[in-house]
Amino acid sequence: MSQIFPKSANAAVRSSLFAVLTLVLFLGWVGFTLMRSSWLTKQSEYVEQPIQFSHAHHVGGIGLDCRYCHTSVEKSSFAGIPPTKTCINCHSQIWATAPILEPVRASFRDDTPMKWKRVTDLPDFVYFNHQIHVKQGVGCATCHGPVDKMPLITQATSMQMEWCLACHREPEKFLRPRAEVFNMAYEAPANQIELGLRLKKEYNVAGIEHMTSCSVCHR
Amino acid sequence: MGRWTAALGVLLLTAAGCRQDMHDAPRYDPLEASDLFTNGSSVRPLVPGTVPRGQLNDDAFLHTGKGPDGLPVTAFPFAITHVELDRGQDRYNVYCAPCHGRTGEGNGMVVQRGYRQAQSMHIDRLKLAPVGYFYDVITNGFGVMPDYRTQIPVEDRWKIVAYVRALQLSRTATTADMPADALARLLKGEPAAKAPVEIHR
């Protein structure tokens, strides 16, 4: 009986095994990279808004504090988006007839809210709370990036679970004094870990078991 | 062939199960839009006359800054200590400084960009004005100045008023007005007041 496979088929089998392994690893790598890509996390993506509101002009330029507009950020889970009245405080006089601000004036006149689109949006099965982070010394810039330099706001971080956990495991790498939370120009000192550990004790920040337990964020 | 079709069918069925329902649960997040109402908002305005529990606001002194005679009150509705002053300073810098400037001169950034300039807080008329007057201006606005009743809670408004008083006093204060320890620090060339390390909340 003649052999069905020539001897060289052995090499083909071996190399095809190798090819399958490489393919699996490659697909794994593609998936892994895709999961973290800004295409899926929407990191650094602009969102079309009804009017081009610039944090760079209002925060970086005229030096407004976040709380002038995001009034509930210190006392509620939701940071709050300012009502049209807050814009009109100033724009009743500044650029009061500029065409670019017509949507704001129309919204105020007709008592219809501005339709801002969300930039950062966690899935609904995740619980997030601003108050606790602000109170325990996590700066806005740590999560939202240099907002004072953004002409249009984008999501500065991946906002994925592994990103939340990286800080919940070692908050000392990021904590700053409470008085600096809203300061966009704050720079971490050289002895950040030392400062972080001291603040962690002073502010009574919860331990790692609590901070990484699933039910803290999935409740 | 039939086996492959079946396998493909099972795969498709499984994929159809991958829905994102939990990502966007059927509930309204704060400020989420809704097409149920004509103005596109999911929250409804309160029916006129609604009083939330515990918010009857029947303390006229605290909430209007006016006495029974309708005139602005001359005293604060609660004790003012360093804690209240620090908070007042913090809030003044957030909500008033953009127009009135950090020192109350009236030359804030927004004014420099074309907003009408207010009188300096340091003119005699305002130094003599009762505290209830300032509270009323914050609550109801004054001339072209907008009201701040929705942005600043009642207690914080009073603390801001206390800080404005402190600003006014600071202009004419002499070393004789200083506590001994602060004076000693000043003479040594150090800042007289310890910088507030902590903003009280």
Judged by CB atoms closer than 8 Å, whether chains meet at A78 and B30 is answered as yes
Same domain for A71 and A178, yes or no, is yes
Residues of A in contact with B94 (CB under 8 A): 65, 67-68
Number of domains in chain A: 2
Residues A160, A62 share a domain: yes
Q: Are residues A28 and A122 in the same domain?
A: no
Look at residue B28 in the predicted model and tell me its pLDDT: 87
- Tens-digit pLDDT profile for residues B106-135: 999 999 999 999 999 999 999 999 999 999
Q: Rounded to two decimals, what is the model's pTM?
A: 0.92
Whether A147 is covered by a domain: the verdict is: yes
CB B99 within 8 A of CB B111: yes
Same domain, A72 and A172: yes
Return the H-helix or E-strand segment holding A25: helix A9-36
- What pLDDT digit, counting tens, does each position of B45-58 carry? 889 888 888 888 88
Hey, how many other C-beta atoms are within 10 angstroms of the C-beta on A14?
10
Residue A91 lies in a domain: no
pLDDT for A137 equals 94
Best residue in B102, B113, B147, B197 for a mutation probing chain A (most A CBs within 10 Å) = B113
Say whether B22 and A89 touch across the interface (CB within 8 A): no
Instruction: Examine the domain organization and report whether A27 and A121 are in the same domain.
Output: no
At B58, list the tokens: 């029947």
Mean pLDDT (chain B, rounded):
87
Q: What whole-number distance in Å separates Cα of residue A25 and Cα of residue A16?
A: 14
What are the tens digits of pLDDT across the range A169-179?
A: 999 999 999 99
Q: Which member of A62, A80, A92 has the closest CB to residue B98?
A: A62
DSSP letters for B125-156: HHHHS-HHHHHHHHHH-BTTBPP-TTTS-HHH
Fold of B60-173: Cytochrome Bc1 Complex; Chain D, domain 2 (1.10.760)
Per-residue pLDDT of chain A (219 residues; tens, 9 = 90+): 678 888 888 888 889 999 999 999 999 999 888 888 888 888 888 888 999 999 999 999 999 999 999 999 999 999 999 999 999 999 999 999 999 999 999 999 988 889 999 999 999 999 999 999 999 999 999 999 999 999 999 999 999 999 999 999 999 999 999 999 999 999 999 999 999 999 999 999 999 999 999 999 998
Q: Write out the two tokens for B71.
A: 């005139």
Same domain, A73 and A29: no
Contact B30 A71 (CB under 8 A): no
A115 CB neighbours in chain B (<8 A) are 33, 40
| CA atoms of A143 and A159, how far apart (whole Å) | 8
Q: What percent of chain B has pLDDT over 70?
A: 90
ipTM, 2 dp: 0.85
The 10s digit of each residue's pLDDT in B9-33 is 777 666 665 667 788 888 888 888 8
Residues of chain A contacting B29 with CB distance shorter than 8 Å: 124
A160 in the same domain as A130: yes
Q: Look at residue B99 and tell me whether its pLDDT is greater than 90.
A: yes
Report the residue of B89, B144, B151 to disrupt the A interface, i.e. the one with the largest count of A CBs within 10 Å.
B151
Classify residue A202: in a domain, yes or no. Answer: yes
A102 belongs to a structural domain: no
Query: B69 to chain A, minimum CA–CA distance in Å?
Result: 31
Residue A109 at interface with chain B, using a CB cutoff of 8 Å: no
- pLDDT over threshold 50, residue B8: yes
**Domain residue limits at A25:** 9-36
User: Residue B199 has what pLDDT?
Assistant: 43
Q: Give the integer Cα–Cα distance in Å for B72 and B64.
A: 9
More confident residue, B39 or A67: A67
**Quick check: helix, strand or coil at residue A151?**
coil
Does the residue A190 lie in any domain? yes
- Give A8-47 pLDDT, tens digit per residue: 888 888 899 999 999 999 999 998 888 888 888 888 888 8
What pLDDT sits at residue B197? Answer: 43
What is the reported pLDDT for B198?
Answer: 44
Please write the tens of the pLDDT for every residue from B161-187: 999 999 999 888 888 888 888 888 888
- Please report the pLDDT score of residue B142 as a whole number: 95
φ, ψ for residue B162, nearest 5 deg = -60, -40
Question: Contact A78/B115, CB-based, under 8 Å?
Answer: no
With a cut of 70, say whether residue B73 has pLDDT above it: yes
Can you give the pLDDT at residue A1?
Answer: 60
Residue A4 lies in a domain: no
Domain annotation covers residue A149: yes
As a whole number, the mean pLDDT across chain A is 92
Residue A74 near chain B (CB below 8 Å): yes
143-182 of A, contacting B, C-beta below 8 A: 177-179
The answer to the question of residue A88 being in a domain is no
Distance from A18 to chain B by nearest Cα, in Å? 26
- Nearest beta carbon to residue A94 from set B23, B115, B146: B115
In chain B, where the domains are located: 60-173
- Which pLDDT value is given to residue B175? 85
